[in-house]
Chains A and B, each alone.
Chain A
Amino acid sequence: MEKKPLFDKLRTILLEQDWEERKELAEKLEDLDDQLNSRDRLEEKVQPILQDQQEHFKNNFPKLFGPQITETISKQIKDSQDEVVEALYPIIGRMIKKYIASEIQKLSEKVDAQMELAFSWEGWKVRIKAWISGTPQSEAMMSQLIDPKIEEIFIIEKNSGLLMGSFSKNQTVDQDMIAGMLTAIKAFVEDAFAGGEQELDSIDYDNFKIVVKSFNSFFIAIVASGGMNAAFKDRIDSTVLEFADKVLRKARKGDDEEVDQKQISGSLEEYFNDFDNVDQ
């Protein structure tokens, strides 16, 4: 009997498991090598991890980096005060100018009203009438004036002039076209007359006034009738700012392209339907 076949048989018996394991290991190694060197396969494996990390980073960015960013900004502001002042001066200067103008207007209205009340014949007539009827003088005085009222509100996308939402007590005009024309008028005035970064604030016609409030990507046009005074304008300002912050910012979060016109219009109604009836 030959020794070699027996020896081969013995080797097979003893090393078979090792061979299989080696083969398996080699296959695994080859597969791993293929995974590492094939862009598609590597991408397939790594992409979900990267996406998860990206999502995690996106969601936790303020938490992770908020304090550092705030600290960096504070330091930057501290270290380069001149540059910051230079950058903010035009904006703050304009804001201060507007605020002072509005306060002066309020003061002038107050003085006018007091002078009128004290010296005019109308004032005396109202006083006597109020004294006879027993109603407070202030109430009788107010009823002599035409109360300002909000007639319509349009929220318009800045560049395209497309209507994002509207509120109207009359529903007489095509609001899409009005939004477009208001955008064109605003653009024309700002291009033709405004120096620098100034923007159209209001349009007056007859007994109506269109107050324009500009934001970054949209503007709000408020059509009001009656004697618009500074206090009413102030109230509009704060309500519009609150509305922009609470409703419009949320509406814009979902999709950059389209906003829900119905939702915005509904919220406008909630905010402004009873606006004129609120006691000042």
Chain B
Amino acid sequence: MSISKKVILVGHFGVGKTSLIRQFVHQKFSDEYLTTIGVKIDKKELQVDGMDVTLIIWDIAGETEQNKVPASYQLGAHGVLYVFDITRPSTYQNLHEQVNHMQGLLPNAPIQILANKTDLLTPEECESILGGIDFQEVHQTSAKTGLNVEEAFRLLTKAIVS
């Protein structure tokens, strides 16, 4: 028997939320940027700890501040992926505030932070930027190369079901 869980991807516009989902669900990447209007829903089945889990993934249109996103899209989520673009400081400058907002809205849902587009910088540059972000766990991802994409979703699913 499979269990279904709702996962939402949030963050500023253009940080690569849709591309991460595309890479995770369809193993594809496109350089063409199409802004998400409202919300887009995708689905992926995976096995975590011997359990069949169906992830219903809500790709929510990017906003500079999460309180501008309709709460009804976020409510009922079992897990959150907060995505920022490592090459654009404006997308992670108020990271603490945004993550706190999400934690307040979904107190029982695990939240994972993804630093996306790491393929555009050297590993040293990435480390240096992440060093300046005072967060315990930030996962480096690249929707383009697929780096850590599957792992990020798997880790979140594990946190949800455990």
Q: Bound state CA distance, A4 and B5, in angstroms?
A: 88
Binary flags per residue of A182-201, CB closer than 8 Å to B gives 1, else 0: 00100110110000000000
Q: Is A184 a contact partner of B6 (Cβ separation < 8 A)?
A: no
B76 at the interface (CB under 8 A from A): yes
One of B38, B39, B43, B78 near A160 (C-beta < 8 A): B78
Name A178's closest neighbour in chain B (CB-CB): B41
Contacts of B76 in A (CB 8 A): 157-162
Binary flags per residue of A138-158, CB closer than 8 Å to B gives 1, else 0: 000000000000000000011
B residues 111-151 in Cβ contact with A at 8 Å: none
> In the complex, how many angstroms separate the beta carbon of A118 from the nearest chain B beta carbon?
48
A residues 172-224 in Cβ contact with B at 8 Å: 174, 176-177, 179-181, 184, 187-188, 190-191
Q: Is B3 a contact partner of A160 (Cβ separation < 8 A)?
A: no
Q: Is B43 a contact partner of A174 (Cβ separation < 8 A)?
A: yes
Q: Is B70 a contact partner of A160 (Cβ separation < 8 A)?
A: no
B93 at the interface (CB under 8 A from A): no
Number of B residues contacting the other chain (C-beta, 8 Å)?
19
Indicate the member of B3, B5, B41 with the most A CB atoms within 10 Å: B41
Q: Is A177 a contact partner of B56 (Cβ separation < 8 A)?
A: yes
Q: A162-B56, A176-B4, A258-B3 are in contact. Are A187 and B41 (CB under 8 A)?
A: no
A268 at the interface (CB under 8 A from B): no
Q: Is A163 a contact partner of B73 (Cβ separation < 8 A)?
A: no
16 contacts between A and B (CB under 8 A): A159-B76, A160-B56, A160-B76, A161-B41, A161-B76, A162-B76, A176-B54, A177-B41, A177-B43, A180-B6, A180-B41, A180-B58, A181-B41, A184-B38, A191-B70, A191-B72
Q: A160-B76, A160-B78 are in contact. Are A184 and B39 (CB under 8 A)?
A: yes
Q: Bound state CA distance, A188 and B78, in angstroms?
A: 20
B77 at the interface (CB under 8 A from A): yes
Q: Bound state CA distance, A57 and B13, in angstroms?
A: 54
Contacts of B41 in A (CB 8 A): 161, 177, 180-181, 184
B42 at the interface (CB under 8 A from A): yes
Q: Bound state CA distance, A191 and B39, in angstroms?
A: 14
Q: Bound state CA distance, A276 and B62, in angstroms?
A: 44
